[in-house]
Amino acid sequence: MLKRYDGNPILDPIPSNAWESRMVFNCAAIHEGGKTHLIYRARGVDGHVSRFGYAGTKDGFHIDERLPEPIFMGDPINDLECHGCEDPRLTRIGDRIYMCYTAYGMVPGVTRQIGSIQIGMTSISVDDFLNHKWNWEKRWYPFPRVDDKNACLFPEKINGKWVMYHRLAPHIWVSYSDDLKHWGASKIVMSHQEDWEYFKLGSGAPPIKTPKGWLFVYHAVSREFHYQLGLALIDLENPEKVIWRGKEPLLKPEAPYEVNGVVSDVVFTCGAVVRDDTLFIYYGGADTSICVATAKLSDLLDSMK
């Protein structure tokens, strides 16, 4: 039911921009002010350092606006993210937009350089976001020194708690918070069931509320190390209860721009939006460019028997 856009990729590296000359991929997506906003991960001439760029689209397909400079970077004097920031995900809560990302840096305070990844979080007011005033809140790290990533927030409290999905390999976990800063009561929500999920699973786009449940697009890695997208439906009142889960991938790397690139055989999403009755899934193809695929939301929900 998912249809690739004929004009894919919709966003490519810009060779003349040093910070995004090699790879643009894995973008967050949020629809505000009559426009879909993409915060994308980019790499350039300095190799493995990722930064976030901004692009916008009024119709969901064609990029109308793209800023020439990064809008968010890892803090170079902070050991926890001195090597960059990766894979953003956006959720609006009240008058603020919260961003979860992977902080890539070093383990602080040890005598040799040891790489570190963990979840980072920050937020920005909706007004500042729409006006491109990048006044991000001071960053925080929900699980200090825990090798963790792929975090995304539910947009509202469930049973009085804020809810986060995240990935402690090889499972998807759920955690809860009273204040969006301190998290705990963690439990495994999803583990591999099918062969295409064999190696590990991780969150994709933040869950989208529908009458039948929370629509959750996730990624999974097969034995062959192919990254694919899956679809699940989560109980509206219990984020630990998966009420439907597809046995086959929703999207797997088949198009040339998904099979061939910096990292072959990858489709990976950090963002999806619903416009009218259409689900737009924005995803990275082969860790090189950004693409979009769509489906009728009502058709997807009807198929979940």
28 touches 38 (CB < 8 A): yes
Q: What pLDDT does 69 receive?
A: 98
Euclidean distance between CA atoms 179 and 208, whole angstroms: 21
Residue 63 parent element (H or E):
none
Q: What is the pLDDT along the chain (305 residues), one digit of tens a residue?
A: 899 999 999 999 999 999 999 999 999 999 999 999 999 999 999 878 999 999 999 999 999 999 999 999 999 899 999 999 999 999 999 999 999 999 999 999 888 889 999 999 999 999 999 999 999 999 999 999 999 999 999 999 999 999 999 999 999 999 999 999 999 999 999 999 999 999 999 999 999 999 999 999 999 999 999 999 999 999 999 999 999 999 999 999 999 999 999 999 999 999 999 999 999 999 999 999 999 999 999 999 999 98
Which tokens in the block code for residue 73?
């970077």
CATH match for 3-302 among 3.30.300.180, 1.10.3720.10, 2.115.10.20, 3.90.1150.10: 2.115.10.20
225 touches 265 (CB < 8 A): yes
239 touches 214 (CB < 8 A): yes
DSSP for 11-31 reads B---TTSGGGSSEEEEEEEEE
Map out the domains of the chain as residue ranges. Answer: 3-302
